[in-house]
Structure 1
Amino acid sequence: GGRRLYELVGRFLNGYDGLAWARDQPEYAEASICACEKALGNPNVGPATVFISWGLISTFVSLVDALERCVAEGLLDPGAFVWVCDTCIRQHEGEGKQRDVGRLDDMVRQCESTLLFNDVWDRTVKRSETDTVSCLSRIWCVYEIFCTVRAGHELVMMFPEDERRRFLGALAKDSDAPTNALARVDVKTAESFDPADKERIMGQVEEVGGAAKVNEVVIAALNRALADVAARAAEEDVASVVALNAAVYLRDL
């Protein structure tokens, strides 16, 4: 018990690698990683209060690093339990996994807030096969943000530190940069690793009012979350260009 997450799945494995790794472990055939760890008495497993939304192309280490920075900045209680799909959803194909996936919106509601790990803040559309895009190009993340808003929960955005600096640099040049980037978020063009997942989510999207409504809700929530990032940076230097443009950005929301 007590092992770090990246020691379980390998330091350089990303989220998709983590899914494949869990499926190869016979002890996880009928239960999730967290369920097994809880049965072993691991004190680091408990009822989640923070839902983690992230693109599985990211590494676990980068996610853990971002969470540790959130703790340092006072955005995350150091004693909080976080919900991460790889470890909380059963990964072996079958009814168990399908039930877990089908309860995703319930998991968002049962948590108290959502942390969105966005490692490429402005690339929401894949322009080529080699293009690096953010989690906002993934339909699961877009839908999870919508579920967060519908539940009345706070959405907090976190970046790798170099990406946070890149965002603030773009904001210093143009107060409209965040709004322009987020305007391209679209649940209809967002992708999923499994086409069946997209079909399932789009069915749920239609049930709640359609893609246009979901996009409007999600983009507004993302702008508020990015504005919070800008506002925290502005507090560090109230006389900076970032502070001025952050004020304009906040005013225009």
Structure 2
Amino acid sequence: MALTLLIGNKNYSSWSLRAWLALTASGIPFEARLVPFGSAEFAAAFEGLDAPRRVPLLLDDDVAVWDSLAIIEHAAERYPDRPVWPGDRVARGMARAVAAEMHSSFHRLRRHLPMNLWRPVETRAFDADIGAEIARIGEIWRAARGRFGAGGDFLFGRFCAADAMFAPVATRFATYGVPLDPVCADYVAAIHAQPDFVAWRKAALAEPWVEPHDEVDWPEVKRVPAA
């Protein structure tokens, strides 16, 4: 049985993007099912499941796995021949560590600069605490690129699950005009050019659903036109 991944609105659901992008870029076969936030379909999707009502949620026969990082690890275990993580042991250890740090950290940044793929690029002021989180992310990116990035445009050369975990952050930096050094700016550009992300963003721009709590200009909803 193929895996099924329940995801939320592509414009806003950063955690859905992480899981979807890691599986897609690794060539893992799965079916994505989008359930819009607040809809009857969203509520119905979780009926009878021993899982919390949140996305993403991976269904694998009788196994339900929630939480993006758990989904990524489950998929990597299920398909050990797929390049979910770097092949090199040392690089893989660092990739897992920075993915876990992304998973558990940077809460102020995520709240103040929510993922919103259809918002035009406009700066938004942030305080010193958020600035410190941004600085730490830059440290991670420069360290990974400097040590392991020679083989491609991503943190560990080729795209892997660590990049999927940081992809929504890259979108935030672009959307809100966060100043970046050349290494980080090039990495943000690489994420935005990654073909699977391009496909996700194109679909996001065509979505009709608006989530006010993710619109920092509310009640105004600023949108770039769909392609």
Q: What is the TM-score when the length of structure 2 is the normalising length?
A: 0.28
Higher helix share: 1
- Bigger-Rg structure (1/2): 1
TM-score by length of 1: 0.26
Which structure is richer in relative contact order (CA contacts within 8 A, separation 6 or more)? 2
